[in-house]
Amino acid sequence: MPDDLSLLTPDLDSIGWTPALADWAGSAETVGRVARTSRGFCLVFTGGDALLAASSSVRSATGVAPSTGDFVTVVDDPEDGPSIERIADRSTALTRRAPGRVPEPQVLAANVDDVFVMHGLDRPLNLRRLERQLVIAWESGGTPIVLLTKADEVRHHEEAEETIAKIAPGVETLAISTVTGQNLDRVRARFTGARTIALIGLSGIGKSTLVNELSDGVVQRTGEVRASDRRGRHTTVTRDLIPLPSGGIVIDTPGIREVGLWQAHTGLAKTFPEIANAIPNCRFGNCEHRAEPGCAVAQGRMDGLITNARQTHFQELQSELDLQDEQLSEFARRAESRTKADADRRRDGERRRKAKKGKGRSKRR
């Protein structure tokens, strides 16, 4: 496989194009799937040669920026060159809160079926980060699978697996190694047809190494981790969609440390099912699940189904999401009153101008 995404020419079927998408695209001349996004441009697999298309016009027209994994139509302007015209509704989207103060979403990968939440066994397990990763993975609408990488570097990984089983109920967890080949057959087995799987996790844990292993060649650059603290060097800097020769599609992403949640109440409930399922059975609608009579969560704690730590984490993340909801409605309210104030000002200005004109006329007379 060539080492440059832009040299790949996968056919449309193999990158997930469907008859339904063909209907949606109608008579569009060029269609395809976004393979990479960077600085106002998208690399698009079109069935023939990959092409570079500007993404700014669709962004300004719809407010939606194309993301890796999106199905799109492309127009070619004789003067300005190709640009993204339309983006198909996403069946799923792996989304986090964009870093920074302004609350806005950042789509990491569109139209994904599974999300591999990856952790390197060569470093300590950060359960809080893993919980957040699981929340955004569930919220995407795809299915999370936890991959513990570099199993060859540790003698025992059973402990990590047991810990993860507790915080990721119902989520398949696999310890893998690209050095010994451990469990790679099971990873490969998930890539069938045009199934799309996104990889997320810290820098240096082996995402791109896995991609190269799956694609039987070097498509992605990989980088050594710093020996002192196992920190990765942020080798991958773009979100890349790579069709695998044996079927299936993988989306490699840059390592992320900050996993901000974006409107992820569903993902939260799926990550903490034992708590989310209990809450509707509390006697009071505004139950805070401390010592209220008839609290189903307290009952769950007593029955050993819910741990204090899990409840605390759940409630912290829920407060974070509630706060975000409030912030967003506040933003919307302010934007609305700004629009109204603008309209009022325009109307007043108009009135004043008319009045002035009227006066001028009377003077002249």
Ligand X SMILES: Nc1nc2c(ncn2[C@@H]2O[C@H](COP(=O)(O)OP(=O)(O)OP(=O)(O)O)[C@@H](O)[C@H]2O)c(=O)[nH]1
Place of tokens 């975000």: 324
d(CA 293, CA 282): 9
Q: Which of 86, 150, 270, 289 binds ligand X (CB under 6 A)?
A: 150
Does 177 interact with ligand X (rule: CB under 6 A)? yes
Q: Which of 236, 243, 261, 275 binds Mg ion (CB under 5 A)?
A: 236
* Of 141, 11, 40, 25, residue with least CA distance to 87: 25
DSSP state of 90: P
Does 178 interact with Mg ion (rule: CB under 5 A)? no
Partner from Mg ion, ligand X, Zn ion, none contacting 209, C-beta within 5 to 8 A by type? ligand X
d(CA 244, CA 96): 26
Partner from Mg ion, Zn ion, ligand X, none contacting 203, C-beta within 5 to 8 A by type? ligand X
Partner from Zn ion, Mg ion, ligand X, none contacting 117, C-beta within 5 to 8 A by type? none
d(CA 82, CA 183): 43
CB 252 within 8 A of CB 242: yes
- Residues 6+ away with beta carbon under 8 Å from 330: none
Does 282 interact with ligand X (rule: CB under 6 A)? no
Q: How far is the CB of 243 from ligand X (least distance, A)?
A: 18
d(CA 144, CA 137): 6
d(CA 118, CA 114): 12
Cβ neighbour number for residue 237 with a 10 Å cutoff = 11
Does 38 interact with ligand X (rule: CB under 6 A)? no
Choices 80-88, 140-148, 232-240, 280-288; region in contact with Mg ion by CB under 5 A: 232-240
d(CA 273, CA 314): 10
Binding mask 270-299 for Zn ion (x = CB under 5 A): ------------x----x-x-----x-x--
Place of tokens 């993301």: 67
Does 212 interact with Mg ion (rule: CB under 5 A)? no
Q: How far is the CB of 314 from ligand X (least distance, A)?
A: 28
Binding mask 229-258 for ligand X (x = CB under 6 A): ---xxxxx-----------------xx---
CB 93 within 8 A of CB 141: yes
Binding site for ligand X (CB under 6 A): 149-150, 152-153, 177-179, 203-209, 222-225, 232-236, 254-255
- Interacting residue ranges for Mg ion, rule: CB under 5 A: 207-208, 235-236
Q: Which residues bind Zn ion (CB under 5 A)?
A: 282, 287, 289, 295, 297
